[in-house]
Each structure stands twice: as C-alpha cells, then as structure tokens.
Structure 1
C-alpha cells in the first residue's frame, strides 16, 4: 500500500471495496496528521463532481471519492436498475485529475491527485440487507425529523431517509476532515450539515460540510447532473427551461414583487417555452413538478407577503423540479445573502 505521507503520491488511485481495507489506510493517514477531503458520489462522474474534487484537492492533504449507487434513496418506481454505472470510466477520469498547490511545510509546488476511491458493494454497506420498499427494510436507518418532507421530500417522501442513512455510513467509514456537496442538491446538503451538527459528528464537523456553487453547462446554464444523459436530442434542447423559469422568478424578486407574482413569472416562462418547443416540432413532453420558495433554515414554504430587509439576511431557496419526458431535473437559486451557506 502506498504511503500517505508523500504529497506527490499515489500516482495511481487506490481503490477500496471493503471497509476494513479502507480503515487500515485511513488509520495511517490519521497517524500522519493528514487532512482528508471527501466527495461522496453515485458515479457517472461529470464536471460538477470534478469541481467538488478540485476544491478538496486544493484544501486537503488527501482526497477520497466514494462511488456507490445507494438503493435506499430510490423508491420502488424510480430508476435504480437503469441508473448509469460507469466505474471504469470514472476511475480513469479521476486518475487524470491533478492540481498544483504549495506544500505547507516546504513551500514547494506539488501536484495533488485523488488518493483513494471507496467503491463498496451493497452487502458491505447494508449488512442487514436492503430493499427499495421502505416498509420491508430491516436494520438501522437515520432520519432528520422535520426537514425531509418539504421541497424535494414532498415529491420523494423516502428520499432523505435513504440519503442521511448512507451518508452517515460513509462518514463513519471515510472519517473526512472536510466534505463537499453541490448546491444543485441544496436541501440535501443543508440536511447533511444539520445531521453532523445534531449527531455531534467529529468527521466531519458540521462547519466542515461545504456547499459548492452548481456547475453549469456553458451554453445554456443547465445544471450538470448524471441524469442529463437520459435526455433525448430534443429533450436536451429544452432542458434549460427550469433554470430560465427560476431566473424569471428571481428577477421578479429583485424588483420587490410579491411571492405569488414571482412564482407566476416562473410558470409563465415554462408555458412559453413549452409552446415554443411544440411550434418548433420538438418531440418532447414537458411536465412541471413544482416551483416554490422555502426558508433556507426551516425549509417551510414562504406564505403570504415575505418581509425583506436591506441586507436580505433571510435566505430564501427558490427551487423547482421539472420532467423532460421521463427525466426529472432539479435546480435552485438562493435569494438573499447566502455567503454563510455557500463556499
């Protein structure tokens, strides 16, 4: 096993499939006083994931990426069986990734690469077994009460139970100093920060769960997602409808218009874009799931007239979900001063 003490090693990524092997490696890193950055993923890596990995490489001695398609966060009708699994490609992508940083001890420039990939089996992660039907599940599960039924949880009621359970397991195994999540899944990231705070996690501490701005396609600002590859050619042409709708609502918000007017602007944008797609002869079905404004602390829906102050210290999550054919896309914009949330 390569030493964890040399910042220029390993030249190839160590891949762990068992918890015991990873823990032996992590113990050596702990003894050497190395910081460990962690990026949890379900694979099918894209530039959004890579942006998180780069943040970790810059800030930590060692970076670990997990690749695990988690059955517990898929409802029985969702796409577990067809979710893209591209481990060989993902490993190649990570192997070629490196950043130049200054060594804190010598000051010399060194190249940091991903140190390890943790790619466990389902049996390793769920020793009591796992099925998608929540009523039939056995064993220990984790739930953050009161914060998982709003926003995405309203459409996917078992989703956050599955996420908090698997991330708790991953944090217990990886023992990261810092962990990195994307803003695209803002509710998930904020719930995980709360999880670490409420359960007194030391690896990572809640303030070391970092939320990084969403990585977007440079042509139309579509949020990068592993599920984007499900889109047809026509579907990809209209996939930016959601962010365009959210931007229309955000513009109305900056003009001090009411919440109802902001949401109405978003709906009108979707309707116009849908009509344009039909007139262009695109073979695509567009179905809006929701667009809503929620408080970033409680996730409660903002009701009535929302009071604003000059500093906009209250952060509002403007979020939505939309189906392009059978592919469900999500996105969000944070309204107000979100500097204490993002970064």
Structure 2
C-alpha cells in the first residue's frame, strides 16, 4: 500500500493504476468505512482511499478541532483490507494558496441537515469535486449513513457530468442497531445506552409502512412514540421525504418509497440516522379471461 500527501505524488501514483474505486473519508475509520473498501475492491482494479478532515464543511462551533484522528491506526486498517493507495493531504494540498472556487448544489442542500448546518453541503460538494478531479476515479463509494450527502454527491456528479459512478453502500450497525460513526466515540456510557432508540424509531416507521400505512403523519407518529421512551434524547427532526428531491411528503407513493431520516443530540454529540422505505411493486392481477377483446 502506498501513502502519498501532495497532489503531484497522487497524480504519479494514480497513473500506474487502472480502474479506481475511491473511498473518500475523514479518517478515524470503522467497519462502515472498511465495507466501502471491500465493495470498491470487488469491482475495480485498485482502491484509493482519501483521509482528510475537510474544514470547509464544518460550521462555527462545530467539532473540527476535536474531530477524532488516528492516522497510524487508519493506515494499518487499510493495509489489512488491501487498499492500494491512500491520499492523506494537508489543507494546503486540497485548498492551495489563493484558492477561491466553491461548488454549491441547490435544492437538495437546503433542507434537513442543510437547513440546520448552513454552508455544510457547499463544503461537501467542493471537496468532492476536488477529490474527484485529483483522483479521477471510475467509481466513488459512499455510505447510506449520510443519506442527504449521497443525494448531493449524485446530483453534483450528474449536473457537472463528472463521468464516474456513485455507489451507495448500506449502513453498518452495531449489534444494538446504532449506526456506526466516528462521532460515536464522543458518547458517554449513558448516552451510548440511549442512542439505539434512533434505530428503533426507524424500525417502527418501517413496520408501520409494511402494515400498509402511507400517510406521513402516521409514519412520523410511530417514530415519535418510540422516541418518547428516551426523553434524554432530544430529537431535532424526523422526516419522511422523497428519496431523490428530499421534499417532505404528506403521502408516500408506494411506487417510489421514501427516505425516513432523523437527527438528535446526545450531550455534545449530534447523531443522524435513516432508513429507506423501499418501493412496493403493485400486486399482480389475478389470472382470468381478458374481457377487453370480447364484446
């Protein structure tokens, strides 16, 4: 496994590779990240991983300075998974002196996380455009855990004709259902014990949907009943939205499904989670005489 820092080093190393699967990360890796590496390994000649805590996606008062970092640990994990190339740029390697270009994706960035973290998705879109330009991947691998981010990245790639495939891999969870996240390390023992209520609330929505309920108000109600069991988990929002536009729904179209997402703050830790309500195929028509051709 080769580790590089500068853009020139990256360019030289990339030239020796064939098809590339890129796994962009901010480090402090867990099995969710490693599952992306495995997916990239299965479909590409080489796997490139970037490790960069991107300052432009952190807002004032957010955890940029305290974001967990352990590069030696990350590199050991990636070498064990068979990554070929790891880019560990400094801030000046991603944003050179004089840098003044920002990328903004409209619409899907203005709701949910975007409404609560102004400028966050501009930072995400900008760094992704830089990473994609520098690495020139065939495919990029991202996790469903950051559902809105996957929608933004897909829109970025489509709108700017970036010529790569965005592969979204399932959320990896702890045995009690908590979505894996680097920020889980912030949780106190009591907060950690309460945190799985987020996933249980999502499961309640899924079960309500499977029972034939389509009104968003009923689906949201099922989530809030479960969340009320843990009053120490202040919920910022629960959303039932179109999976592509992120527009809030009153009624879920079973042919399209929906994205159910939520956010909550446990102490100083802000957690997000989501679940996709899959489209439901219409029931087959019973076999019988087609009377349309008989008069």
Q: TM-score, normalised by structure 2?
A: 0.91
Residue aligned with 2:168, SS: strand
Q: By how many angstroms is 1:145 displaced? A: 1.1
* C-alpha separation in 1, matches of 2:262 and 2:14: 39
Shift in CA distance, 162/307, structure 1 to aligned 2, threshold 3 Å: closer
From 258, 270, 292, give the equivalent of 2:239. Answer: 292
Q: By how many angstroms is 1:338 displaced? A: 9.3
* C-alpha separation in 2, matches of 1:149 and 1:128: 29
- For the aligned residue pairs, the C-alpha RMSD in angstroms reads 1.6
* 8 Å contact kept, 1:148–1:157: no
* Bigger mean CA deviation after superposition, 255-264 or 228-237: 255-264
Q: By how many angstroms is 1:215 displaced? A: 0.5
1:329 aligns with 2:271: yes
The answer for unaligned runs of 5 or more in structure 2 is: 282-295
**In the alignment, what sits opposite 2:200?**
244
* Bigger mean CA deviation after superposition, 255-264 or 229-238: 255-264
* C-alpha separation in 1, matches of 2:40 and 2:279: 24
5 Å-filtered alignment, 1:1-343, equals: 13-29=1-17, 34-97=18-81, 113-128=82-97, 139-202=100-163, 204=164, 208-218=165-175, 220-257=176-213, 258-274=215-231, 285-303=232-250, 306=251, 308=253, 312-337=254-279
* 8 Å contact kept, 1:65–1:114: yes
Residue aligned with 1:209, SS: strand
Q: TM-score, normalised by structure 1?
A: 0.79
Q: By how many angstroms is 1:20 displaced? A: 0.6
* 8 Å contact kept, 2:238–2:263: yes
* C-alpha separation in 2, matches of 1:94 and 1:48: 12
Total equivalences in the alignment: 280
* Bigger mean CA deviation after superposition, 248-257 or 315-324: 248-257
**In the alignment, what sits opposite 2:291?**
none
The answer for unaligned runs of 5 or more in structure 1 is: 1-12, 98-112, 130-137, 275-284
Which runs of 4 or more aligned residues in structure 1 lie more than 4 Å from their structure 2 counterparts after TM superposition?
Answer: none
* 8 Å contact kept, 2:2–2:85: yes
Q: Deviations for 1:68-92, whole angstroms, at most 9, x for unmatched residues?
A: 0000000011000000111111001
